[in-house]
Structure 1
Amino acid sequence: MPLPSATPDGDGVRVDGLAGWVGSAALRELVARFGGRWPAGDLGAVLAGLDDFSAGCWDFRAGRERPEAREPDLDPATVDLVHAAADALGLVRARPPAQTRYAHLVVLGGLAHACLRRVAYAAHLLRTGVEVTGEVAVLGSFRPLSGAERRTLAAAGVTGCDTEVDVLDAAVRRTFAAPAPEADDGLDAGHPHHSWSSRTYRPTGTPPVRVLAAPSSEPQRRRAHTADTQRFWAEHAQLARHDEVLLVTAPIYVPFQHCDALRTLAVPYGCEIDTVGVDPTLPDLTRLPEPTLTPGRYLQEIRSAIRSLRTLHTTLR
């Protein structure tokens, strides 16, 4: 299924494709397989119903970080259906960027292995013909690393990292051969949910690379999430109407993070968003660690996409 898209239209932005993704046969079959009835009503009611349904059936995190989510016990036929639905909904296969020229390339942070892979893929895109006229932005937060992440980094030869943004910074320095930032700014507020940082590198032969750690928009409740990092970067980058932004993440997160970007970047700034997942078959990436993607992981991120679509739809009303 094609992802929703946003196009500047007069003084506003036209967003198309929400109903197509939500009402797809793949999602309908998946809901039925787990005993659900398709919600009645308009698109808003359908999204609310799917949000409630997925909370009961596909929320394996229960407020925890993704690596701590439990894995459901599913029969082989259901596993096959989950994989087929995830593929149809755009969570499995990587696709190349739609264009060769963008105003900005934005790399979304994540777990340690993802930080390494996504920065490496961004560098690959720049080497193989993607032109960026503005900057490369690498977005993360001060989320502390887990023990498993530290072991992953050690195996990849990366040391001295305590937080997600530390990994992103190390990945930029290593991948782009940029030993020191040209500009270093930020605020240490005494708590990671309130603090922020910005480091700008100027590697030879590439656009400027900014590594940004965002504060949380709800610091009393949680760390910064994807939408926080996108919004915080947009304020720093001074986005212009009609800017074309290429986002890099993992294929499994493309639908939900794309819809977050439509809400936080396309709608308020009039930008056009293209979101791609890292291609795991590239030789540059085969040496970097990659997690096992299970049926539970796919169901969890289908739920994430539903929630992101619901929030986007609410924003547009």
Structure 2
Amino acid sequence: MRIGEVALPTGAAGTGAGEITAGVRAWVDSAPLRTLVGHFGGDWPGGDLAAVLAGLDEFSARHWDFRGGRERPDAREPAFDPATAGLVLGAAAALGLVHPVPPARSEYAHLVVLGGLSNACQRRVAYAAHLLRAGTRVAGEVAVLGSFRPLSEVECAGLAAASVPPCDTEVEALDAAVRREFGVAAPAEEDGHDGDHPHHSWSSRTYRPAGGPPVRVLAAPSSDPARRRAHTADTQRFWAEHVHLRTGDPVLMVTAPIYVPFQHCDALRTLAVPYGCGIETVGVDPALPDLAGLPEPTLTPGRYLQEIRSAIRSMRALHAALMPAG
């Protein structure tokens, strides 16, 4: 899989640990990332790949973490001079965080839509519906994955501006998008568990649009409920357990271009490695007429640096999962 100028680790079904590791090494050791680290005053970490990834994780925590444990909308925005801003944007494009690339295949076992901020939920579901209308075939299901993360006031205002009915949580925003984009009014099947805390709860709603594959809206519980809400890897793993993912299944994942590298590597770790399925990750093309009226966020140099850090951390976790135990 090649996004922009630097290839991400391959997601082809049946790829061995050695080839995935080589892909991690190639992305991490690429000229755009080396140049970016040097520009921010860093010395390239020494040692094997694990040591390099650990060093880049630590470096990016000091220089590119603007969230400080907060949700993405609450991250601070750094002030950069024009030369630095241009360098960051160029590196982000080369590393695969800017330009959308269409799916490589015409048929998949499953199409997975990853949740996010409220308006991103609307865009990603709309893009999935667009792909089906444009001829992409899905043999299994369309899975729309989210959590019970409460929406912020800014997110709720964004939904109101896009004429979306009020929603309290990420999964409600996804569900509203599915009902609108797939023309369904009520789920055909519904299941879930209402825990004593949102981090323990889960829900599953399956819609059956006429003439298309079933669409499942899934909210996952957290794998570490005492510390955090469910994150991307939790939702992917929870879905795989529900759908009985099979070896060799080609899976298409839809997110935003800025998140493609980190969410692709999360999917390799949580789905491709344990289940042997294929993973292809694409970003929504905001220029499509089908997405008109669904506003795009402003993507700044700070946002791109934050998600380059996310990609480094995701690749570090993927590499650790590929290493022999003991």
Q: TM-score, normalised by structure 1?
A: 0.98
Choose from 192, 207, 212 the match for 1:201.
207
Amino acid at match of 1:145: L
* Structure 2 counterpart of 1:3, one-letter code: L
Local SS of the residue matching 2:240: helix
The 3-state SS of whatever aligns with 1:203 is: coil
CA contact (8 A) 2:17 2:322 kept: no
| AA in 2 matched with 1:187 | H
Which one of 144, 166, 185 corresponds to residue 150 of structure 2? 144
Matched, 1:267 2:276: no
Which residue matches 2:3?
none
RMSD: 1.3
The CA deviation string for residues 185-209 of structure 1, in whole angstroms up to 9 with x for no partner, is: 0000121100000000000111000
Q: CA deviation at 1:8?
A: 4.4
Q: Which residue of 1 aligns with 2:10?
A: 5
What TM-score do you get using the length of structure 2 for normalisation?
0.95
Partners of 1:136 and 1:210 within 8 A in 2: yes
After superposition, residues 221-232 of structure 1 pair within 5 angstroms as 221-232=227-238
Q: Residues 10, 313 of structure 1: CA spacing in aligned structure 2 closer, same or farther, 3 A cutoff?
A: closer
User: Is 1:102 paired with 2:111?
Assistant: no
Count of equivalent residues: 317
* 2:291 match: 285
- Larger mean CA deviation between 144-153 and 252-261 belongs to 144-153
Deviation at 1:157, TM superposition (A): 1.2
Do 1:36 and 1:53's aligned partners in 2 also have CA atoms closer than 8 Å?
A: yes
Please give the per-residue CA displacement for 1:159-179, whole angstroms capped at 9, x wherever unaligned.
231100001001000100010
Residue number in structure 1 paired with 2:97: 91
Partner of 1:42: 48
Cα distance in 1 for partners of 2:12, 2:111 equals: 18
- The letter for the 2-side match of 1:148 is V
Contact 2:159 2:166 in 1 (8 A): no
User: What is the rounded CA distance, in whole Å, between the counterparts of 2:309 and 2:94 in structure 1?
Assistant: 15
Percent identity over the alignment is 71
Deviations 1:242-277 (A, max 9, x none): 000000000000000000000000000001100000
Query: Structure 1: how far apart are the matches of 2:221 and 2:18?
Result: 27
Contact in 2 for aligned 1:13/1:270 (Cα 8 Å): no
Aligned residues of 1:6 and 1:266 also touching (Cα < 8 A) = yes
Within 1, Cα distance between the matches of 2:135 and 2:164?
Answer: 28
DSSP 3-state at the match of 1:17? helix
Q: Is the 8 A contact 2:110 2:251 kept in 1?
A: yes
| SS of residue matched to 2:7 | coil
Distance 1:96 1:281 in 2: 12
CA contact (8 A) 1:12 1:270 kept: no
1:174-253 correspondence to structure 2 within 5 Å: 174-253=180-259
Q: Which amino acid aligns with 2:100?
A: A
Offset from partner CA, 1:208-236 (integer Å, 9 cap, x none)? 00000000000000000000000000000
State the distance in 1 between where 2:200 and 2:15 align. 37
**2:14–2:248: 8 Å Cα contact kept in structure 1?**
no
The residue aligned with 1:62 is 68
Q: Which AA in structure 2 matches 1:232? A: F
Q: Distance in 1 between matches of 2:282 and 2:12?
A: 18
Hey, what's the Cα distance between the residues in 1 that align with 2:199 and 2:19?
Answer: 33
Residue number among 82, 86, 93 corresponding to 1:80 in the alignment: 86
Q: Does the Cα contact within 8 Å between 1:7 and 1:270 map onto a contact in 2? A: no
1:115 to 101, 121, 125: 121
Quickly say closer, same or farther: Cα 1:274–1:55, change in 2 above 3 A. same
- How far is the alpha carbon of 1:286 from its aligned partner? 2.5
Distance 1:100 1:302, change over 3 A: same
Following the alignment from structure 1 to structure 2, what is the Cα–Cα distance between the partners of residues 42 and 68? 35
SS at match of 1:154: helix
Matched, 1:53 2:87: no
